[in-house]
Chains A and B, each alone.
Chain A
Amino acid sequence: MKKTSTPVVPSREAPGSEPLLAVDNLHVEFVTRQGVVKAVNGVSYSLNAGETLAVLGESGSGKSVTAQAIMGILDSPPARVPRGEIRFRGTNLLELSEEARTQVRGRRIAMIFQDALSALNPVFTVGAQIGEMFRVHRGASKRDAQQKAIELMDRVRIPAARQRVHDYPHQFSGGMRQRIMIAMSIALDPEVLIADEPTTALDVTVQAQIMELLGELRRESNMGLILITHDLGVVADVADKIAVMYGGRIVENALVHDIYRRPAHPYAKGLLDSIPRVDLKGQELYAIKGMPPNLLDMPSGCAFHPRCPYRQDNCVVDAPPLYEIGPTRGSACHYWREVLDGSHG
């Protein structure tokens, strides 16, 4: 079946010099009773076809909100996007009508969530839920949709797909449920897949299976993959490039090898230094002092300054821009040179 493209978003075949997906100076705020929460403050990143971008950050860093803005699944109100662009194949998604965005959501840009059990509907069989993608978006018949569901379950390596297509979500293990979520997300052959903490709720041996599966699917169909995580191990394993977020901003972006070798932002360096290392057993772990910022009451200047060992007086008043420190690299620290030099190995 041939894809019908929206009038504004170029079809997947169209050549273009633009990256597949580009987030540009995105701002997202939530209006709450306690005040306006600025969850995302000028985030920019880009993704090419076949590439894996890891977005690393802890809770409240804005990593998931950015993803939800790309998908267009933020509840508005309370959320609003006062500034910024999200360009998909050159077209700003934020300017599209809701109808046109529906054409993109799920079909061209898909997302999988952390908690597969709550993302699946408990009263429908998994076959019906995977098949629904084809029935809604492609107008497939019930029988065709079921057949497609079985094929997809095979593709994500769920054993005995033909029998299990009639089972309900609670009859599957956590890892298998995440596979079902992945099957749904790749059903319509998306060009971008956003995976929001896809393995956080899973055991390590199952995590390894899921990450391997995502990597294979990405290679097979040349998808762009955005992996949202807080796990430095997973990032080192699969990412091509990385954006580190803190307090709603990107504090460092780099190719994955560069950042692990020599981080250029004190927060990224702190995270890497606090990983327990075999050769330092018995010694105190390096720990970033203090705690993550409160979004309702962000520190002045650089949001990291209350916790930063490199802090100088100007950091308290002067928020650093994302300095371009190399062709593929940025650091939002006034003293990135010192951070680079102070890095180990």
Chain B
Amino acid sequence: MAATGEPILEVRDLVKHFPLTQGVVLRRQIGAIKAVDGVSFDLRRGETLGIVGESGCGKSTLAKLLMALERPTSGSVRINGREIADARRGDLKRARRNIQMVMQDPYTSLNPRMTVGDIIGEPFEIHKEVAPKGDRRGKVQELLEVVGLNPDHINRYPHQFSGGQRQRIGIARGLALQPEIIVCDEPVSALDVSIQAQVVNLLERLQDEFGLAYVFIAHDLSVVRHISDRVGVMYLGKMVEIGKDVEIYDRPAHPYTQALLSAVPVPDPEGRERRERIILQGDPPSPANPPSGCRFRTRCWKAQEICSVEEPLLQIRPGTAHASACHFAETHDVIHV
């Protein structure tokens, strides 16, 4: 669905540092894990923004910040122009109605002692104005139907469902309050391959039906490409490149994006001997002590003197039409996932 109009979610210079402390009685801070370190983006109504990156890049912390489950160290998150980063009580509660989350693991994110009806209906307990008590059962059954489950199964428990069905329950819970934004944190990666496509299709159908905007966090680059209008690439707490899906996938400008794309195995054995592969050396550095300047420079084949001194900003660079954070950004056709 085409994204239109005003941004519904505006994120500016978002920072989250987790303190590292030492000592039991006399706790003192000896450093900080810089999980998210200055991330900005917009999300428009009905749009899907994919966020990709490897473990430890801060994408899940970003999801928690958007949900106001974590308080940012600094920066701002606005939903429909209203700040939620420092919102309290009533304001926060109202803001959260508009942004909901679908979790990765449908096995641990549903309370095994609650029936499906109670799980999906729980948001109504908190936001009583959405559905008066008498209507709730009907609303829950409607939601079950919307996500492709049998409304008669309202009294069953999570263990009576398969993984794919449980993820549908999680999605129904996310839809209950009719939010405008849903943050999906790895929504299909815990599912069997033959089930993943079903859930991706469901998310797309719901987007069309309800005009939802998604922040779609995943590491499966081909699924992200399929569902996203725009894609942001994260590395060690920073957004290193952001642009339309074709820009990121066909004309990546940041070396990390290029390496990431080339590392994805292509599901076609034809021509595999000739395929170009950028194999990065080593592992990402620790976010407690990121490299100076550009954070990718320790693994980058293009790194020069300037990269250790000056941090490259996320901006549109010569020869590219989208923003990237590399002094030597240059589009390069890698592969097609």
Chain A's closest residue to B164 (CB) is A291
Q: Is B64 positioned at the interface, with any CB of A under 8 Å from its CB?
A: no
Query: Could you tell me if B267 and A275 are in contact, using CB atoms closer than 8 angstroms?
Result: yes
Q: Convert B97-127 into 0s and 1s, putting 1 for each residue whose CB lies closer than 8 angstroms to a CB of A.
A: 0000000000000000000000000000000
A17–chain B nearest beta-carbon distance, Å: 29
Query: Could you tell me if B219 and A203 are in contact, using CB atoms closer than 8 angstroms?
Result: yes
In the assembly, what is the distance between CA of A203 and CA of B236, in Å?
Answer: 14
Binds A, one of B29-37, B68-76, B151-159, B197-205: B197-205
Chain B's closest residue to A274 (CB) is B197
Question: Contacts A203-B55, A204-B54, A281-B225; is A233 near B200 (CB within 8 Å)?
Answer: no
Which of the residues B165, B267, B336 comes within 8 Å of A232, measured between beta carbons? Answer: B267
Q: Convert B20-40 into 0s and 1s, putting 1 for each residue whose CB lies closer than 8 angstroms to a CB of A.
A: 000000000000000000000
User: In B205-241, which residues have CB < 8 Å from any A CB?
Assistant: 205, 219, 221-223, 225-226
Binds B, one of A36-44, A183-191, A282-290, A329-337: A282-290
In the assembly, what is the distance between CA of A233 and CA of B267, in Å?
Answer: 4
Query: Could you tell me if B194 and A204 are in contact, using CB atoms closer than 8 angstroms?
Result: no
Q: Across the interface, which residues of A come within 8 angstroms of B264, CB to CB?
A: 204, 233
Question: Contacts A274-B196, A285-B226; is A205 near B164 (CB within 8 Å)?
Answer: no
In the assembly, what is the distance between CA of A234 and CA of B193, in Å?
Answer: 13
Q: Convert A258-273 into 0s and 1s, putting 1 for each residue whose CB lies closer than 8 angstroms to a CB of B.
A: 0011000001001110
Query: Could you tell me if A256 and B269 are in contact, using CB atoms closer than 8 angstroms?
Result: yes
Q: Convert A157-193 into 0s and 1s, putting 1 for each residue whose CB lies closer than 8 angstroms to a CB of B.
A: 0010000000000000111100000000000000000
Q: Across the interface, which residues of B come within 8 angstroms of A235, CB to CB?
A: 267
Question: Contacts A176-B283, A204-B221, A281-B226; is A236 near B200 (CB within 8 Å)?
Answer: no
In the assembly, what is the distance between CA of A271 and CA of B196, in Å?
Answer: 10
Query: Could you tell me if A236 and B268 are in contact, using CB atoms closer than 8 angstroms?
Result: yes
Question: Contacts A276-B222, A291-B162; is A58 near B194 (CB within 8 Å)?
Answer: yes
Q: Convert B229-261 into 0s and 1s, putting 1 for each residue whose CB lies closer than 8 angstroms to a CB of A.
A: 000000000000000010001000000000110
Query: Could you tell me if A234 and B200 are in contact, using CB atoms closer than 8 angstroms?
Result: no
Q: Convert A284-316 into 0s and 1s, putting 1 for each residue whose CB lies closer than 8 angstroms to a CB of B.
A: 111111011000000000000001000000000
Query: Could you tell me if A205 and B225 are in contact, using CB atoms closer than 8 angstroms?
Result: no
Q: Is A230 positioned at the interface, with any CB of B under 8 Å from its CB?
A: yes
Q: Across the interface, which residues of A come within 8 angstroms of B267, CB to CB?
A: 232-233, 235-236, 260, 272, 275
In the assembly, what is the distance between CA of A272 and CA of B270, in Å?
Answer: 14
Q: Across the interface, which residues of B come within 8 angstroms of A275, CB to CB?
A: 222, 267
Interface centre among A175, A231, A256, A278, by most chain B C-beta atoms within 10 angstroms, is: A278
Binds A, one of B78-86, B128-136, B170-178, B272-280: B272-280
Q: Is B192 positioned at the interface, with any CB of A under 8 Å from its CB?
A: yes
Query: Could you tell me if A260 and B270 are in contact, using CB atoms closer than 8 angstroms?
Result: yes
Tell me the count of chain B residues lying within 8 A, CB to CB, of chain A: 43
Query: Could you tell me if B336 and A278 are in contact, using CB atoms closer than 8 angstroms?
Result: yes
Q: Across the interface, which residues of B come within 8 angstroms of A292, CB to CB?
A: 162, 192, 194-195
Query: Could you tell me if A285 and B200 are in contact, using CB atoms closer than 8 angstroms?
Result: yes
Chain B's closest residue to A291 (CB) is B162
Query: Could you tell me if A205 and B54 are in contact, using CB atoms closer than 8 angstroms?
Result: yes
Query: Could you tell me if B268 and A260 are in contact, using CB atoms closer than 8 angstroms?
Result: yes
Q: Is B149 positioned at the interface, with any CB of A under 8 Å from its CB?
A: no
Query: Could you tell me if B226 and A276 are in contact, using CB atoms closer than 8 angstroms?
Result: yes
Q: Is A237 positioned at the interface, with any CB of B under 8 Å from its CB?
A: yes
Q: Across the interface, which residues of A come within 8 angstroms of B279, CB to CB?
A: 205, 208-209, 212
Query: Could you tell me if A236 and B265 are in contact, using CB atoms closer than 8 angstroms?
Result: yes
Q: Across the interface, which residues of B come within 8 angstroms of A267, CB to CB?
A: 194
Q: Across the interface, which residues of A come within 8 angstroms of B270, CB to CB?
A: 257, 260-261
Instruction: Pick the 7 closest A-B CB pairs, nearest first.
Output: A233-B265, A276-B226, A287-B197, A203-B54, A274-B197, A208-B263, A58-B192
**Interface pairs (12), CB distance under 8 Å:** A159-B282, A176-B283, A203-B219, A204-B54, A208-B279, A209-B279, A237-B269, A239-B269, A274-B197, A275-B267, A276-B225, A291-B194
